Amino acid sequence: MKVLFCTIFTLLIAGCTTAPDYDPEPDANSRILNVIDEYDVGTLGIGVIREGKIVWTAYYGEQSPGFPAGSDTMFNTASVNKAITAETALRLHDKGVIDLDEPISEFYIHPDLSGDDRHKQLTPRILLSHQAGFLNWPFEYEDGKLAFIDDPASGSYHYSGIGFRIFAKFLEAKLGKPFPQIVEEEIFRPLDMQNATNSHDKASKLENVVIPVDDSGAFRSDYEFEQDYWSAADDLFVSVEDYANFLISSFESDALSQRTRDERISVITDMSTNPIWECGPEAVDPCPEPYGHSIGWFVFGHEGTLTLHHGGNDRSEGAIGYYQPETGDGGVIFVNSTKGVMVWPKIVDIVDPEQDFQDVFHDVIRKYLSEG
């Protein structure tokens, strides 16, 4: 299988030119192909952003059997969806439709939490900065029911997809619209993101959506979309170029007030002492500063430059989108592989070697995923 895949992988440069201030390293293509071979990658899409413009894109492999990946290929990017949800919240907050600090219990209470008064403390800010005090999903609890493992806004970091789901249900109740429609109206349509959806129903009807692969890199014949399912926390189907333009527009446009922009980059939940993400001499040194979660975004600081990003890792997905507001530089890497979380930091090293934020991920991979 590896030999077959390596023979059909090709490098495609999208757009008409490569910007003068960006050229991939001479051996970039061969190094990328080596990573593809080592980690049984079925599909790979890469975008490099400089000064607020997409300057280089590359696509490897097929989106489905017999169909090469290209600029309109939509990858399942897993938790990258959280950044879309966060930006939806920021836009609605900026318009005065919601307040980041309003109690959501006036509109929505998760049934599992109705007997615990701490649900009254939950706000959009708390939910979207992973301070709600939940595990990631209810199925991680022994009884399968959601419960607080910590007080909301206690300062403890508990990464939680269900927190984003609860926020989305709050939006539906307050605005009287389905969540996918809200995102369509606030993000996808204004930014002309034609190759983007958070709905399995819509994705199932499209021919340009990546089919997941198995551990060997072969396309799964048993994959089925989930009917009547949408997510605010995972399963964002989007093309490299649409997501790159989303990053550029989010950080470069004047759609948001300066006050809301400041909300976006302000760390709420510190991660420097988290058991998984900790920094220091035995982990990553120097530790990013600041280092933590704002509303929906990871925030890493290096030498006075902020990098905001969000990644995704789930089943056959590995993804990252990152942006530096001060410079307008960033990147998008979408991977179709069961080992995708190991792939994208290596691709950043190849196509954007001056970056530092991925060092944290390299360290986490070394510690927890047996990468040496």
Q: Angle, to 10 degrees, between the axis of helix 340-351 and the axis of helix 358-368?
A: 140
Q: pLDDT digit string (tens) for 88-121?
A: 999 999 999 999 999 999 999 999 999 999 999 9
Largest separation between any pair of C-alpha atoms in the chain: 61
**What pLDDT, on a 0 to 100 scale, did the predictor assign at position 155?**
87
| Annotated domain spans of the chain | 2-86+179-368
Q: pLDDT digit string (tens) for 15-42?
A: 334 454 798 999 999 999 999 999 999 9
At a CB cut-off of 8 Å and minimum separation 6, what does 311 contact? 79, 80, 298, 318, 319, 320, 321, 341, 344, 361
Structure tokens at 195: 């190759």
Match 């952003």 to its residue by tokens: 49
Structure tokens at 77: 């990017």
**What pLDDT, on a 0 to 100 scale, did the predictor assign at position 11?**
43
**What pLDDT, on a 0 to 100 scale, did the predictor assign at position 283?**
67
What distances in angstroms separate CA 174 from CA 84, 97, 102, 163, one per listed residue?
Answer: 19, 9, 12, 17
Q: pLDDT digit string (tens) for 269-285?
A: 999 888 888 876 666 77
Domain 2-86+179-368 class in CATH: alpha beta
How many whole angstroms separate alpha carbon 322 and alpha carbon 231?
21
How many CA within 13 A on the CB side of residue 219? 15
